[in-house]
Amino acid sequence: MSNELILEQVPIEGGIMSNQKPCVFLVDDNIVNLNTGKIALREKYTVITMPSGDKLFASLNKLKPDLILLDIDMPGMSGYDVIKQLKCNPDTADIPVIFLTGKLKAADELLGLSLGAVDYITKPFSQSLLMKRVEIQLLLQEQKNELREYNDNLVHMVDERTEEVASLQDAVIIWVAEIIEFRDSETGQHVERVQKYLKVLINAMIENEAYRNEVSSWDIEAFLKSALLHDVGKIKIRDNILLKNGSLTEEEFTKMKMHSSYGKSLIESLEEKVPNQTFLKYAKILAYRHHEKWDGTGYPDRLRGEEIPLQARMMAIADVYDALISERPYKEAYSHEEALRIIAEGRGTQFDPHLTDLFVSLSDEIKAVSEGLRNGWGIHEGIKSN
């Protein structure tokens, strides 16, 4: 009888076997071993027999088995050659392989296990032992699959929860900004516009050698979200000062300046409840430091030059620019060109000189934002990768 065995015809629907029994591929160049193995397993499993590694790979193009019984000593492609190829392919790497061999030495067993085999069965094998070994390995594989599915579901649940927390954070930020806007009709629009100017500025900074290294270490999304809270301290400023229709007296201005310290205190109280939040770290910097000036004449601590955090130096320019182009009870709105001229005049005194030059060079993009042409931007939109 020829050892060349015709592959058993098994009904396949769309590449998946139509019966629900686990599928076992039995690969051996000996017809007796193929028949013995098939008889032993066919009651519980769909057994497809084949005489060589080449036939195995031809079959794998049509069907993926639950387990492979693989002879080691075959002409042409050995069992070791076959398992190496199986494990190199992501589509077949997770199929458990049990080696069949007529001679087993410790070195051979170690080699097979190192290549990815899950077990060895010596030939001639008893039918009951073959059945038990296959049953054990398929049970282990089922447990692995269940664990993988559980882990995948767990990751999905964590991702969903993370998304929910992020959505809640965004909602709280917007809610706080709306509270500020309710008290001061200009502030809510102001913080949104400032956030957009910062988007334009930070994109340019990412491409600028002078800032690239520092900016690359930031969580840019958290930083831009935090910009919405830079004026949060105004919640504690009295209406007769915040909404005054005219210039502030020296005493009133002193009280108005307290909004930076109030903002810091409000955010610190939140940090006590949710510590180690990058978003709150940025928010505190922006709320507390955005009125510091490059020459040391700002408030609240008269910081000078690079003592002022870079985030706050950026905010100082964006904040003043928007205040200049906005109409307020005590002043008319300046044009975009006039506002940029005033910003440029503050180079090296009120503002970081390098950031001033960069901001002025972005005139067209800043003007587009100030005119509301990009009102549809979201938090993620328009931010370049580091």
- pTM given for the model: 0.58
What pLDDT sits at residue 377?
45
**Which range, of 30-39, 92-101, 184-193, averages the lowest pLDDT?**
184-193
Helices (H) and strands (E) in the chain, counts: 16, 7
104-152: per-residue pLDDT in tens?
677 777 888 889 999 988 888 888 888 998 999 999 888 888 888 888 8
What pLDDT sits at residue 291?
96
Residue 16: which pLDDT band, with cuts at 50, 70 and 90?
A: very low
| Residue 73 pLDDT exceeds 50 | yes
What pLDDT sits at residue 182?
63
Q: pLDDT averaged over the chain?
A: 85
What pLDDT sits at residue 178?
66
| Residue 348 pLDDT exceeds 60 | yes
What pLDDT sits at residue 184?
60
| Residue 209 pLDDT exceeds 70 | yes
Residue 5: which pLDDT band, with cuts at 50, 70 and 90?
A: very low
Residue 342: which pLDDT band, with cuts at 50, 70 and 90?
A: very high
Residue 244: which pLDDT band, with cuts at 50, 70 and 90?
A: confident
| Residue 338 pLDDT exceeds 90 | yes
Rounded to the nearest 5 degrees, what angle is found at the Cα of 353, between the Cα atoms of 311 and 189? 45
Q: Which of 65-79, 103-117, 304-318 has the highest mean pLDDT?
A: 304-318
Q: Give CA–CA dist 214/185, Å, rounded.
A: 35
What pLDDT sits at residue 336?
94
What pLDDT sits at residue 54?
93
What pLDDT sits at residue 13?
39
What pLDDT sits at residue 19?
55
**Which range, of 65-69, 138-142, 164-168, 342-346, averages the lowest pLDDT?**
164-168
For residues 268 and 246, the model is more confident at 268
Q: Give CA–CA dist 104/117, Å, rounded.
A: 14
Sign of CA dihedral 166, 167, 172, 178: positive
Ordered DSSP codes for 267-291 = HHHHHHHS-S-HHHHHHHHHHHHTT
CA-based nearest residue to 312, from 376, 344, 265, 264: 264
Looking at the chain, the whole-number percentage of residues with pLDDT higher than 90 is: 51
HSE toward the beta carbon, residue 280, CA cutoff 13 A: 16
Sign of CA dihedral 26, 113, 92, 141: positive
Rounded to the nearest 5 degrees, what angle is found at the Cα of 85, between the Cα atoms of 79 and 91? 125
What pLDDT sits at residue 357?
96
The angle, 0 to 180 degrees and rounded to 10, between the axes of the packed helices 310-325 and 353-361 is 50
Confirm if 77 and 52 have CB atoms less than 8 A apart.
yes
